[in-house]
Structure 1
Amino acid sequence: MFKFIDENGLNVDLRFDEGPFDVEPKHVLTLVQHKGKWLCTIHNRRGVEFPGGKQEQGETLYQAAIREVYEEATVVIEDVQWFAYYIVHGEIPFCKAVFTAKVKDIEPFVGDFETDGVLWLTEEELWQQPDLSFYMRDAGMKKMLQEVKNHERQW
């Protein structure tokens, strides 16, 4: 387990297994890399971030990951794989499941969806992005991207 304190001063536990969970995941985050670049969305308040969101009633976390990526970026994904989860220990703790996925199709971006745009960034461009969302700047995100690289070497 990797522990860190986020920008809001909250303790966060990051794990690279599939549970059991102290707090059931109800949110998803999906890391999509295509042609050496990461899929990022532009949230109108938080800034540049990986696509994700809340699981809706009746859907699995995998279905939520697929839906959120499409709603936020108009990108169709496949080969969705469980990767990690993290628990933010706030007043009401919450858990987010993290997935990796491959691009199946990229449709033209529709501006009235949930985000203000899509960016495809190399890792270097990602860390140089001045408008990163608060959760993208923390130690957990750096650890996740490092672990993605480690997994890629094993495949």
Structure 2
Amino acid sequence: MFEFNDVKGNQVFLSFKQASFSIEARHVLVICRFQEKWLLTNHSVRGLEFPGGKVEDQENINETAFREVYEETGGIVQSLTFIGEYFIEDVDLGPFVKAIFFAHIDKLDVKADYMETGGPVLISDDILAKLPNPEFSFIMQDEVVLRALAKVKELGLI
């Protein structure tokens, strides 16, 4: 278990095991690869980030990951792997848990609407070399993404 503060000062606990916390994950963050590139989305308020969002009614966490990737990037998930989850003591929103997945994307559909985002953004080089960077969302700026990417590499997914 890793413990740190995010860029907003919230306490974060990161685990690479399922069901590590007393509350279940109701949000997702999906680290995506498409044709040997990182697939991100350009959130209209936060900037560049991996797709993600909240679980909707009657939806499980895996379905949420598939839906959020498609809504925000047009990406069709070929394979989805659980990486970990993190608990955030958010001072504004209250505590919540977000599941982290890794997805290989089969294809990108062109869509008229990408919800609250500007659609897909492909980055071909080392994403970590670009951080910190004001073009990227605060979500990309803390240890969650850094450690999750290291776990993805450790698992041989890329």
How does the TM-score come out when normalised to structure 2? 0.89
Look up the match of 2:19: 19
Cα separation, 1, equivalents of 2:147 and 2:127: 17
- Cα deviation digits, residues 133-155 of structure 1 (max 9, x gap): 001011221111111111117x9
Structure 2: any 5+ residue segments left out of the alignment? none
Does structure 1 conserve the Cα–Cα contact (< 8 Å) formed by 2:72 and 2:114? no
Cα separation, 2, equivalents of 1:124 and 1:104: 21
Cα separation, 2, equivalents of 1:23 and 1:104: 32
Q: In terms of mean alpha carbon deviation, does 96-105 or 47-56 score higher?
A: 96-105
Q: Secondary structure at the match of 1:93?
A: strand
- Cα deviation digits, residues 47-94 of structure 1 (max 9, x gap): 000000000010110000000000000111022121110000124101
Amino acid at match of 1:82: F
Structure 1: any 5+ residue segments left out of the alignment? none
Cα separation, 1, equivalents of 2:4 and 2:128: 21
Cα separation, 1, equivalents of 2:151 and 2:128: 16
Look up the match of 2:116: 114
Where do 1:69-80 residues align within 5 Å? 69-80=69-80
Q: 93, 99, 102: which is aligned to 1:100?
A: 102
How far off is 1:123 after superposition?
4.7
Does structure 2 conserve the Cα–Cα contact (< 8 Å) formed by 1:78 and 1:102? yes
- Cα deviation digits, residues 92-138 of structure 1 (max 9, x gap): 10110111111122112434533113211135256425411001011
Q: 132, 153, 158: which is aligned to 1:149?
A: 153
Amino acid at match of 2:89: H
Structure 1 vs Structure 2 CA RMSD:
1.9
Q: In terms of mean alpha carbon deviation, does 106-115 or 36-45 score higher?
A: 106-115
How does the TM-score come out when normalised to structure 1? 0.90
Amino acid at match of 1:117: G
Cα separation, 2, equivalents of 1:86 and 1:75: 24
Look up the match of 2:50: 50
Aligned length: 154
